[in-house]
Structure 1
Amino acid sequence: MSRDRYVDFLRAWAIVLVVLGHWLITALLHGPDGELTAPELLATVPWTQWLTLLFQIMPLFFLAGGHAAGGSWARTRAAGGTATGWVGRRAVRLLLPTALYGGPVLLAVAICSTVGVDPGTLALVGWAMAMQFWFLPVYLLLSALTPVLHTAHRRWGLAVPAAMGVVALAADTLVLTVHAPYVGLLNYVLVWGVAYQLGFCWRDGLLTERRPLLPAAMAAGGALAFAALVALGPFPVSLILVTGQTPSNTNPPSAAMLSWAVAQAGACLLAAPAIRRLLNRERVWRTVRPVGGVSMTLYLWHMLPVLIVAAAFYLTALAPEPALDSAAWWALRAPWLLVLAAVLTGVVTALRPLEATLIRRYEGIRPDAAPYRPWFLWPGLAACVMALTRFATQGFAPDGRFPVLPALGLATGTTLVLLHRRPADGRGERAEKTDGPKGALEEAA
């Protein structure tokens, strides 16, 4: 079965917009004592919160991920593959690049805390380097649940995302009315899971071939619901966390975020025919395809160029610093983005061979072949989800200190996941069929 170029485009587009959005809202200024500060643009300049409607595009990544995962899991089932093998393969493809990123960052934090780097500065840098980690535990959980979710999809179809949405609304109501924050944690899986589950429905034609008017209804209904919840309800317009803003649309994902996800999914389906025609042009596809292959590297490492440029141009006072939100400040966003893109291109070019070698060596030592060790995989995944969640919420250096327990959790969990495959023993075990070599996020989806 040929791959859907539009699905690959959506994942690449989502990652690129996330990177550009993070860069755009990053502001650097010298404080009164000469220290470098990073004022929160969305809080300092409130009108910029409207920009998040353009850059919060991760619902489309989960939609495309569900589409691809549904097809991949269906092929694995048809070939006699197992849930452990399928989930483990995707977990490895996510966790090896994550370990390659997290290991050096944690080592740098340990060295900096040992030599006495200012705790406030270290905490800020540690937060910047972990701000993108919220995605990883959610995606790992949805990947692990895919066999169950897809079974429910085959039986009940569109009723599954509808039911998940209803439960998400109930959970959000409890968060708002009785202040039950732990209930809200369910919405990380439920709200993003709705988009993921809609991806199953999209692949099987439940959103298009059988119901041609449904995409338009989703786009219009979701957008109107979002507008009503922002205008009449308690929700802010920002689709990215703003310090001190309560309630938030992302922490946990709210009813407004759910509405926006449905609207984005509908708009994506409406745009599919026109964009597919563009992607069928080989010149266009040759531009889009490489981005998908490096999507995980882009996603993990995109804040490192900010630190490099800050050290090179801001700590040395070479960069001009016009007033925040002035015309001059916005004019400087263009060269700022170009310089960051150039640095990230160099980082990705250097890292991709290393990532590929790491994965290739692992595949050679521990080939993707049954039997597996589920008693290693599932506890390892649980440990990784907890550790990554801790990094996402507190950064790599909470209060300027080395995070001992999360670091141990991530190291232990990743090791257990890697050990779920047995070492090669030369007996020629039959490997479960995969979809070929891909970038980490592309394979994991």
Structure 2
Amino acid sequence: MGAHRRKGDGAGTVPVGGGRDRYFDALRALALVRVVTYHAFGWAWAGLVFPSMGIMFALAGTLMARSLERPAVTVLRDRIRRLLPPFWFWGAFVVLAMLVHGWMPGWQIVYWVVPLGDPPGNAWGEQAWEVLWYLRTYLWFVLLSPPLLWLFRRAPVAVLGLSLAPVLVLTFVWQPPDDRFGTGLWDLSTYLCCWLVGFAHREGVLRRLPPVAVALLSVAALGYGGWYALAHQAEYGGYDLDDDPLAQAFWSAGFVTPLMYAKARFGFDLAGLARFRRLDRLVTVFNARAVTVYLWHEIALVLAVPLIDRCWEVPAFEAHLPLESQWFMFGVAWVLIGAFVLLCGWVEDVAARKPPRLVPGARPATPAARMAP
């Protein structure tokens, strides 16, 4: 996938007082659902309704700022350890499949070990590996966070205000090279503001801003991003924000800031979600298996097609199932995603140095239940 076709992160956010923050957890779960939906249907308007990637980077930014209350070396080691094993596990299948289909890598295969640049691949496996731009961008933001947070704490308003400048420079002043370096610059500049909005939430900067100022700035960013997307459809082939870095940057910033401000200023927490046990459990699974869902969902969408093709050979299925429906394929893909969560999700537990679980979020058995025959 090219530098401008963006689509889905990982770890859950923990509030200061301990326990899960269901507001952030729910946002992350919705973002993952939107990512899968976008890849299934290709709706250009999906990014306008809910810019998942901007939300994911903002949530990751606030979590990173919280983590950096510990020594930076320890935090970086922990973040990298949690990210790479699920990536390696998934990548072993993708790389092996591409090798079987005639791919022969060069030295760039090192990016399949540490994705500081886009890993190489062939056209046969492109739909699977094209999502790796997110892991690469997330990893670079993690590595850059200690100096970024140091700078942010010294001039928070100025740094946050200038965070959209890089994407403006790349759009109107200097065009970066069309290679791994240039692609990385585009992605970092596109989502820098969202990452720093996460910093601003954690550091209490958002809470101190007046609501009117936040509303005006957010509307201005949304207005400019939306106008740019619609006015440059001929250049980018439509108004899909994933193809337009400048529009994506401004729209995501304008969308994410009120969401983070609502949490910082008004304390939205969605604690009542616990009353809906099945929905609450589903949100827990999405957050505990976010990397698994993100990495494997494209493979699930690919496998859904030949699986449905085989259903045409069964007369009962052909007669009674909507095999031609895109929604049916979407449903089959979610069944396959669930299977991947069961089969592969435990790698996230191992990476986090937790006991591996088949399904996260299960309520522990009471002593009486454990003693029962």
- Alignment match, 1:57: 52
Contact 1:215 1:267 in 2 (8 A): yes
Quote the Cα distance in structure 1 between the aligned partners of 2:57 and 2:351. Answer: 26
- Alignment match, 1:402: none
- Alignment match, 2:256: 265
**Pair 1:164–1:211, CA change in 2 (3 A):** same
SS in 1 for 2:154: helix
**Do structure 1's residue 349 and structure 2's residue 342 form an aligned pair?**
yes
Overall identity of the aligned pairs, in %: 23
Contact 2:51 2:255 in 1 (8 A): no
Contact 2:59 2:198 in 1 (8 A): yes
Quote the Cα distance in structure 2 between the aligned partners of 1:112 and 1:308. Answer: 16
Contact 1:172 1:184 in 2 (8 A): no
Quote the Cα distance in structure 2 between the aligned partners of 1:185 and 1:291. Answer: 27
**Pair 1:196–1:97, CA change in 2 (3 A):** same
**Pair 1:318–1:158, CA change in 2 (3 A):** farther
Contact 1:14 1:60 in 2 (8 A): yes
Contact 1:18 1:55 in 2 (8 A): no
- Aligned-residue CA RMSD (Å): 3.3
**Pair 1:298–1:62, CA change in 2 (3 A):** same
SS in 2 for 1:237: coil
**Do structure 1's residue 71 and structure 2's residue 73 form an aligned pair?**
no
Contact 2:57 2:195 in 1 (8 A): yes
TM-score, scaled to structure 2: 0.73
Letter in 2 for 1:276: F
Quote the Cα distance in structure 1 between the aligned partners of 2:347 and 2:292. Answer: 11
- Alignment match, 1:367: none
Quote the Cα distance in structure 2 between the aligned partners of 1:227 and 1:359. Answer: 39
Quote the Cα distance in structure 2 between the aligned partners of 1:276 and 1:144. Answer: 30
Query: 1:42-191 counterparts in 2 under 5 A?
Result: 48-54=43-49, 56-74=51-69, 76=70, 81=71, 83-113=72-102, 123-175=122-174, 181=178, 185-191=184-190
Quote the Cα distance in structure 2 between the aligned partners of 1:307 and 1:60. Answer: 26
Contact 2:308 2:329 in 1 (8 A): no
Contact 2:218 2:254 in 1 (8 A): yes
Quote the Cα distance in structure 1 between the aligned partners of 2:281 and 2:354. Answer: 28
Letter in 2 for 1:20: T
**Do structure 1's residue 281 and structure 2's residue 298 form an aligned pair?**
no
Quote the Cα distance in structure 1 between the aligned partners of 2:89 and 2:309. Answer: 28
Quote the Cα distance in structure 1 between the aligned partners of 2:248 and 2:347. Answer: 37
Quote the Cα distance in structure 2 between the aligned partners of 1:185 and 1:9. Answer: 29
Letter in 1 for 2:344: L
Q: What is the aligned counterpart of 1:21 among 17, 20, 38? A: 38
Contact 1:305 1:340 in 2 (8 A): yes
Query: What is the CA-CA distance between 1:63 and the residue it aligns to?
Result: 0.7
Query: What is the CA-CA distance between 1:84 and the residue it aligns to?
Result: 2.2
Contact 2:54 2:256 in 1 (8 A): yes
Structure 1: which 5+ runs fail to align? 26-47, 115-121, 242-248, 320-328, 363-437, 440-445
Structure 2: which 5+ runs fail to align? 1-15, 104-120, 315-321, 362-373
- Alignment match, 2:204: 205
SS in 1 for 2:220: helix
Contact 1:96 1:359 in 2 (8 A): no
**Do structure 1's residue 10 and structure 2's residue 33 form an aligned pair?**
no
Quote the Cα distance in structure 1 between the aligned partners of 2:169 and 2:347. Answer: 45
Contact 2:292 2:345 in 1 (8 A): yes
Query: What is the CA-CA distance between 1:295 and the residue it aligns to?
Result: 0.4
Contact 2:25 2:287 in 1 (8 A): yes
Quote the Cα distance in structure 2 between the aligned partners of 1:228 and 1:306. Answer: 32
Quote the Cα distance in structure 2 between the aligned partners of 1:198 and 1:123. Answer: 36
**Do structure 1's residue 240 and structure 2's residue 252 form an aligned pair?**
no
Query: What is the CA-CA distance between 1:88 and the residue it aligns to?
Result: 1.4
SS in 2 for 1:113: coil
Quote the Cα distance in structure 1 between the aligned partners of 2:60 and 2:226. Answer: 27
Query: What is the CA-CA distance between 1:170 and the residue it aligns to?
Result: 1.5
**Do structure 1's residue 308 and structure 2's residue 303 form an aligned pair?**
yes
Quote the Cα distance in structure 2 between the aligned partners of 1:9 and 1:151. Answer: 29
Quote the Cα distance in structure 1 between the aligned partners of 2:176 and 2:138. Answer: 26
- Count of aligned pairs between the two proteins: 309
Contact 2:83 2:351 in 1 (8 A): no
The C-alpha deviation readout for 1:302-322, integer Å capped at 9, x for no partner, is: 112223222222367559xxx
**Pair 1:152–1:342, CA change in 2 (3 A):** same
Contact 1:216 1:270 in 2 (8 A): no
Letter in 1 for 2:23: Y
Bigger RCO (CA 8 Å, 6+ sep): 1
Relative to structure 2, which stretch is displaced further, 60-69 or 332-341?
A: 332-341
Relative to structure 2, which stretch is displaced further, 278-287 or 83-92?
A: 278-287
TM-score, scaled to structure 1: 0.62
Quote the Cα distance in structure 2 between the aligned partners of 1:287 and 1:358. Answer: 21
- Alignment match, 2:6: none
Query: What is the CA-CA distance between 1:350 and the residue it aligns to?
Result: 1.4
Quote the Cα distance in structure 1 between the aligned partners of 2:50 and 2:102. Answer: 34
Quote the Cα distance in structure 2 between the aligned partners of 1:231 and 1:352. Answer: 40
